[in-house]
Structure 1
Amino acid sequence: MRPDPGLRVRGEGRFADGRARRGDHHESGAALLSAMARWTTPTGSFAAHFDPHSIRNSDGSSAARRVSAEFRRAGMDYDRRRHRVSARGRRTLSFPAVYPGADDTAGPGYTGQPAVASYYDWRPSE
């Protein structure tokens, strides 16, 4: 289900069909990955579990390749088998996208637990 493009980015919102969305923690998830990569000391290391298939384009298609490309651009590694993104030293990770919302009925993620699909409108690369 694609989110309503008129949704607010922060706070509670609703999809076009009336279902509630809880976007703050998912917007914060992408923001947190970016912040953690910046917070790492020059000699430190960073690792986080992450499923790029939970990131969707605004049309509902997978944005996993695009997300993986952003990781590579920032000098980060992604282990597809372990669903782990990692880097040594400080990194600058940015997702050139606008976050219109998320679908909390996306079904189970790679762990089998309930998952949320986050939708993004990607801006052209600069």
Structure 2
Amino acid sequence: MQLQGEQSLIWSTVVANCRMNRERGLLGVNSYEKELKLNILSFLEQKAEQKEIIYWLDICCGTGKALVEAAASLQSKGITNVKIEGWDVAGVFMNGHTSFSNLQFVTDTITNWQPTYHYDLITCVHGLHYIGDKLEVIQRCISYLTKDGLFIGNLDLKNIKKLDGTNLERQLRKTLQNCKIQYNLRHHLLTCEGKKQLKFDLQYVGADDQAGKNYTGQEVVDSYYQ
């Protein structure tokens, strides 16, 4: 097994395939709502009534269809204080997205993310399956939530291992539980409410992009730690 570094993963055919660069909408059958069990639009609208500015970050946003739909809906309702930011390594975003002043897309790996403010919502729909250092991304996302912010993303703990191949699921679940971070085994959903300082005490050593399929039925990346 040859482990890949974070930058080399960008060129992996597993990471850059069309199935990762999804075209999920915001609501409905093939949607963020279905995958995350959350109506993001309602969440943002409620937050927008409570605060001066609301920030939503979506990691591995694909074509950004859901984000464009959210921006359009908010604009039609006259809600101007929600800022939406989407990151994706492929950089193939929907046409017309530049017409929304509250929407920004970034073509880059999220491991290069250098946030300048805290977020009210951070989402990652199946994107963590393709990231090398999954634990570092999760730690950073949770640390950059507002005090009442929400992080939610799909995660398969079986894709996080020690160098000898040992599964870290039990250890990780205990760490998450101690920090009052929820992990839904049935839906493979990680949910954190409010900013937290989370430490896994594991060192990332590389990723295997030939790990095969996980529960999604798609080929994914295994992350290795020591």
TM-score of the aligned structures, taking structure 1 as reference length: 0.74
- RMSD over aligned Cα, in angstroms? 2.2
Tell me how far apart the structure 1 counterparts of residues 150 and 221 of structure 2 sit (CA, whole Å). 27
- Matching residue of 2:201: 96
Q: Which of 26, 42, 60 is residue 132 of structure 2 equivalent to? A: 26
**Computing the radius of gyration over CA atoms, which structure comes out larger, 1 or 2?**
2
Q: Which has the higher helix share?
A: 2
Deviation at residue 43 of structure 1 after TM alignment: 1.6
Q: Which of 143, 148, 151 is residue 38 of structure 1 equivalent to? A: 143
Tell me how far apart the structure 2 counterparts of residues 95 and 110 of structure 1 sit (CA, whole Å). 23
- Matching residue of 1:58: 163
Q: What secondary structure is seen at the aligned counterpart in 2 of 1:97?
A: coil
- Matching residue of 2:154: 49
Equivalent residues of 1:2, 1:58 under 8 A apart = no
- Matching residue of 2:214: 109
Q: Which has the higher strand share?
A: 1
Q: How many residues align?
A: 107
Runs of 4+ aligned structure 1 residues displaced above 3 Å come to 9-13
Q: What secondary structure is seen at the aligned counterpart in 2 of 1:26?
A: coil
Query: Unpaired runs of 5+ in structure 2?
Result: 10-14, 16-110, 112-130
Tell me how far apart the structure 2 counterparts of residues 106 and 26 of structure 1 sit (CA, whole Å). 12
Equivalent residues of 2:6, 2:132 under 8 A apart = no
> Against the structure 1 CA distance between its residues 41 and 74, is the aligned structure 2 distance closer, same or farther, given a 3 Å change threshold?
same
Deviation at residue 11 of structure 1 after TM alignment: 4.0
Identity of aligned residues (%): 28
Tell me how far apart the structure 2 counterparts of residues 33 and 59 of structure 1 sit (CA, whole Å). 23
- Matching residue of 2:178: 73
Tell me how far apart the structure 1 counterparts of residues 155 and 163 of structure 2 sit (CA, whole Å). 20
Tell me how far apart the structure 2 counterparts of residues 75 and 12 of structure 1 sit (CA, whole Å). 34
Q: What CA deviation, in whole Å up to 9, does each residue of 1:1-42 have, x standing for no partner?
A: 475xxx8x55449xxxxxxxx9x7412x32221111111111
Query: Unpaired runs of 5+ in structure 1?
Result: 14-21, 122-126
Equivalent residues of 1:52, 1:63 under 8 A apart = yes
